[in-house]
Structures are given as C-alpha cells and as structure tokens.
Amino acid sequence: MKTYIVGNWKMNFTVGEASIYLHKLLKTIKPAKNLQVAIVPSTVALQPLSLQIDRKKLKLGAQNCCEKDYGAYTGETSITQLRGLVDYCIIGHSERRYVFNETDKMIREKVAACIRNGVTPILCIGETESERTFGETKDVLKDQLVSGLKDISKEDLDKCIIAYEPVWAISSVKGARPATPDDIASSINIIRDHLKATYGKEIAEKIPVLYGGSVNPNNAGAYLTIPGVNGLLIGGASLIASQFNDIIETAKKVAA
C-alpha cells in the first residue's frame, strides 16, 4: 500500500503566495515509488495551481465541498465543479464539524458525492479532549466511521481514505498537545478492528488510514512507523517548505 503525505493549507496563502510556494515545492520534491504527496490549498487557488502543478510529483486536493452536485446553493462549491482539478477532498475535518457545525448526515453525503464524481474522499474522524477523558474514544470513532461510510458500497470502500485526527492534538486548538505513538496506535487499532469486523479483512486492508495532529519533522518518523498508519495529514508544518520537504524525505525512507 502507498504512503500518503497530505498538506492541508487551511485558510492560508493568497493565490500569489500559493503559486510561489508551489514553485519552491516543485523544485525540491522528487517522485518516489509507493509515496503519494498532495497539497490541499484554499478553493480559490485550486484552478490556477492546477495549471502550474506537476502531477507526477504532487496531487491536488480540496479542503471541503458541497454535498450537492449543482443547484441554488449560494457560496458553495460542488465536487462536480472541482472534478478534473483535484484528486482528493478532505471531508469532515474537525474544524468543519465543530466550528461550522457540519452534521453526520452532511458529511456522509459529501463522502458519497466524492465517490460518484471520481474524487477520493479523505474522511476525518477523531475525538475531543472531553470525549477522551470520559472514555468515549472507541464509541466516537466507530460512530463517525459508520456514519461517514454509510452510503458507500463495499465495492467503493477502497476508494476512500480515513484520517484519524484527535481534536485535542491539533496544533490550532487551544491547549493542544501532541499525541504519543501509543495514543495513536490504540485508536488506529480501534479503526482497523472496526473496518475488519464490518467489511471483512480483505477490504479493510485496502483502506489507507492516515494520522493528523501536530505533525512535524521531529515526530513524523515515529508516527509513520506505527502499525496500521499509511501516511500523514499535516497542517502547520505543510506551510513551511523546508519542514514539509523534511517530512516527505522521512516518508520516502519508511515507504522504501
């Protein structure tokens, strides 16, 4: 299975800044077997960057999409409109769930929209600090998995990527702290066990599971060697070219 390194730029960089940054990345990044690198800029930058990007080195992703393909939804962007520009779309990121109050229904409809439009959804799941404290991690992860994949057929499950992002470990969250490899391994086991129990071992083993949350060059290697982790979803460190490239180089060694 491939190793995935995905940089989520969130609401950073103007179009011009994004273009300059991409130029730097393209000069330093070299393709590697079994490693897929993607950047996920703001929606406004996707079209111009799609003309600049070298897809042999990098793929493009979207940070969000509307669950509808078209219609009277002012201010929304559908995955149908993004088809051909992006290969991936992040769905259900904690900031969408908890800042913008996206419901489980919206999230599973967005996952289904990605699948029917030929774009790989990266379904984010993860517990809050409170849920973790009260021993609810297992239930939360199962509920978010079941709901997020509810409208996906067995035949299409291997077209999805799961990203485990504990809310309490995301660097932009107040009071966040990096997760330890043991913390992550425990939750990855919950995810893997649920996928196997629900869909069978063969299908479960085809679904990549990424980790995200305060990832940086110093901890990336430890996270990538956790059994069951197939890559990283990176926030802040993906905005600094040298750090992002260091993580990519680390991933190359693990994927070799």
Full DSSP string of the chain = --EEEEEE--S---HHHHHHHHHHHHHH----TTEEEEEE--HHHHHHHHHH--TTT-EEEES--BSSSSSS-TT--BHHHHBTTBSEEEES-HIIIIIS---HHHHHHHHHHHHHTT-EEEEEE---HHHHHTT-HHHHHHHHHHHHTTT--GGGGGG-EEEE--GGG-TTSTT--PPPHHHHHHHHHHHHHHHHHHH-HHHHTTS-EEEESS--TTTHHHHHTSTT--EEEESGGGGSHHHHHHHHHHHHHHH-
Give dist(CA 11, CA 120) in Å, integer: 21
- The pLDDT value recorded for residue 218 is 95
- At 10 the pLDDT is 97
> ∠ CA 167-120-179 to the nearest 5 degrees?
20
CATH number at residue 178: 3.20.20.70
Q: What is the pLDDT of residues 195-237, one digit of tens each?
A: 999 999 998 999 999 999 999 999 999 999 999 999 999 999 9
- Residue 175 predicted with pLDDT over 90: no
Residue 121, φ and ψ in degrees, nearest 5: -80, 140
Distances (CA, A) of 165 to 118, 230, 243: 24, 14, 20
> How far apart (Å, rounded) are the C-alpha atoms in residues 116 and 110?
10
Q: What percentage of residues in the chain have a pLDDT greater than 70?
A: 98
Does residue 71 surpass a pLDDT of 90?
yes
Q: pLDDT confidence of 139, banded at 50, 70, 90?
A: very high
Statement: residue 137 has pLDDT above 90:
yes
Asked if residue 186 has pLDDT above 70, the reply is yes
Contact 174, 221 (CB under 8 A): no
The letter for the amino acid at 158 is: D
Query: Into how many domains does the chain fold?
Result: 1
- The pLDDT-based confidence of 254 (bands split at 50, 70, 90) is confident
Chain-centroid distance of CA 141 in Å reads 15
Mean pLDDT of the chain: 94
**Per-residue pLDDT, 89:** 98
Using the Cα atoms of residue 136, residue 141, residue 147 and residue 150 in order, give the sign of their dihedral.
negative
Q: How many CA atoms lie within 13 A of 115 on its CB side?
A: 21
For residue 244, is pLDDT > 90? yes
Rounded CA-CA distance 56/49 in Å is: 14
How far does Cα 85 stand from its chain's mean position? 17
For residue 224, give its domain range.
3-255
What would the pLDDT profile of 146-172 be if each residue is shown by its tens digit?
A: 999 999 998 999 999 999 999 888 766
* Predicted local distance difference test score (pLDDT) of residue 30: 87
Distances (CA, A) of 77 to 80, 93, 247: 8, 17, 31
Give the catalytic positions in this structure.
Answer: 93, 165
- Rounded Cα distance, 159 and 152, in Å: 10
The whole-number pLDDT of residue 256 equals 72
Report, as an integer, the average pLDDT of 173-178.
66
